[in-house]
């Protein structure tokens, strides 16, 4: 049976700042989506990471379905009304367009979709992050799919050992999608040359080289490019099919123990380690830390199991403690150097105005 998984996320308002959606808000989105079961969709799951709401839908309308995108858009609009009624902060934050015109891409919400012939045992992961950008997934995807230090399947499982095809998008290019396909292992150095630049080159999808099956889909929205100014970080969402011809679930999540430093901490202007947290966690220290959650599901005939929260395990408590130390260390240097994003990336306009004012005060000595 051919099904599509659509994961769509948006920040439409949260309690106490950019922290967490209210229960009423989550319930409104869920009630809206629930009405579509048996009609447009087979099944759904609603969750959140920090202030971002995630809608996961299973259906047979294919990727880029206008009906599915409209359903998610309308659910977010309905939620926004509740967010306004409750006075939530940033109500409707990610809904950047006044009207829906057929496809949710480019309107603000992030979207990741995979259409596939359901396997007998179809396991997949829903990975979502807050206070960071889609490029935050570059390193864990590279390590999980191309590095035998993390993915033992590359040497142990012949199908996986054939490597993968990465589609990478240049998110700075706003006139149309500028994409490149690179295969591992042959083109691994070219791939890394791009993926080191999380702010510009982002893994959009990964396919196997054995059958061409689609295993990873990642949202690549750049809100700043849509709105023309900073309106919140492009908190990403990702779907990954696992096991058999794809990496094992444990191989995919292993790189998240690194707590690699990503962009998006406080005001989208600082850097900090990416912390794996329980799904549904809120945000706290310094409007962060940048956080990632991972839920595992199986799906059969379009019906989802309950999720298993992979970062809700004692191992990750130890990881979180380590990442707290790393977070503390970078925060100790406040605004200095690597603790903040480079000037070109500073998202709020305030510093631009300040620098313009200072411009007139500069003098060239000796003239
Ligand atoms: P099972 O033998 O339990 O299916 O596990 C295989 C595997 O992928 C473990 O990483
Ligand atoms: P969000 O993008 O998650 O709304 O966070 C905005 C921010 O900059 C918080 O400091
Ligand atoms: Mg927000
Ligand atoms: Mg957010």
- The secondary structure of 105-126 as a DSSP string is TTSS-EEEEEEEEPPSSEEEEE
Residue 224, pLDDT > 80, answer: no
What the block records as the tokens of 48 is 């959140």
The question of whether 230 is a catalytic residue gets the answer: yes
Q: What is the model's pTM?
A: 0.96
Q: For residue range 158-201, what is the model confidence (pLDDT) as tens digits?
A: 999 999 999 999 988 878 889 999 999 999 999 999 999 999 99
Decide if 197 contacts 342 (C-beta within 8 A).
Answer: no
Helix spans in the chain (H): 23-34, 66-85, 138-146, 153-156, 158-161, 188-195, 223-227, 249-253, 265-268, 314-331, 350-359
Residue 104: band (very low, low, confident or very high) from pLDDT cuts 50, 70, 90? confident
Q: Which ligand is nearest to the CA of 123?
A: 1
**Phi, psi for residue 247 in degrees, rounded to 5:** -55, 155
Six token digits for residue 336 = 């200095």
DSSP 165-233: EEEEEETT--SS--EEEEETTTTHHHHHHHHT-TTTEEEEEEEESSS--EEEEE----HHHHHSS--S-
User: What residue owns the CA closest to ligand 2's atom 7?
Assistant: 267
Q: How far from 269 is each of 115, 159, 237, 282, 288, CA to CA, in Å?
A: 35, 41, 20, 19, 12
Above 80 in pLDDT, residue 13? Answer: yes
CA 286/CA 7 separation, integer angstroms: 28
What contacts 257, CB < 8 A, 6 or more positions away?
276, 316, 319
What pLDDT was estimated at residue 283? Answer: 98
CA of 147 to the centre of ligand 4 (A): 30
C-beta separation of 135 from 198 below 8 A = yes
Active site residue 11: yes
Confidence of residue 231 (pLDDT cuts 50, 70, 90): low
- Which of the ligands is closest to the CA of residue 83? 3
Marked catalytic residue, from 89, 230, 326, 345: 230
Structure tokens at 153: 């399947």
Name residue, tokens 């123990």. Answer: 257
């Amino acid at each position: 049976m051919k099904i599509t998984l659509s994961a769509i996320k948006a920040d439409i308002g949260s309690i106490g700042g950019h922290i967490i959606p209210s229960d009423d808000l989550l319930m409104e989105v869920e009630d809206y989506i629930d009405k579509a079961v048996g009609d447009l969709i087979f099944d759904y799951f609603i969750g959140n990471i920090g202030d971002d709401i995630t809608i996961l839908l299973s259906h047979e309308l294919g990727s880029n379905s206008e009906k599915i995108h409209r359903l998610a858009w309308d659910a977010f609009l309905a939620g926004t009304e509740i967010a306004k009624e409750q006075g939530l902060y940033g109500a409707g934050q990610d809904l950047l367009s006044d009207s829906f015109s057929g496809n949710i891409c480019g309107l603000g919400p992030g979207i990741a979709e995979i259409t596939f012939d359901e396997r007998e045992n179809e396991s997949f992961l829903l990975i979502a992050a807050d206070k960071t950008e889609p490029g935050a997934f570059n390193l864990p995807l590279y390590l999980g799919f191309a590095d035998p230090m993390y993915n033992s399947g590359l040497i142990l499982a012949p199908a996986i050992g054939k490597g993968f095809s990465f589609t990478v998008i240049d998110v700075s290019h706003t006139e149309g999608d500028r994409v490149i396909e690179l295969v591992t292992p042959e083109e691994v150095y070219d791939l890394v040359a791009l993926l080191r630049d999380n702010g510009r080159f982002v893994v959009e999808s990964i396919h196997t080289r054995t059958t061409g099956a689609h295993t990873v889909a990642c949202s690549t929205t750049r809100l700043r490019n849509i709105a023309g100014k900073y309106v919140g970080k492009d908190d990403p969402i990702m779907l990954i099919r696992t096991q058999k011809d794809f990496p094992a679930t444990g191989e995919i999540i292993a790189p998240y123990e690194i707590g690699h430093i990503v962009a998006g901490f406080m005001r989208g202007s600082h850097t900090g380690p990416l912390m794996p947290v329980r799904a549904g966690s809120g945000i706290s220290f310094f409007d962060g830390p940048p956080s990632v959650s991972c839920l595992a599901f199986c799906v059969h005939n379009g019906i989802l199991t309950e999720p298993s929260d992979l970062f809700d395990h004692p191992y990750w408590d130890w990881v979180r403690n380590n990442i707290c130390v790393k977070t503390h260390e970078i925060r100790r240097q406040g605004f200095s150097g690597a603790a903040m994003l480079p000037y070109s990336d500073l998202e709020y306009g305030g510093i631009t105005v300040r620098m313009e004012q200072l411009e007139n005060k500069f003098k060239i000595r000796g003239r």
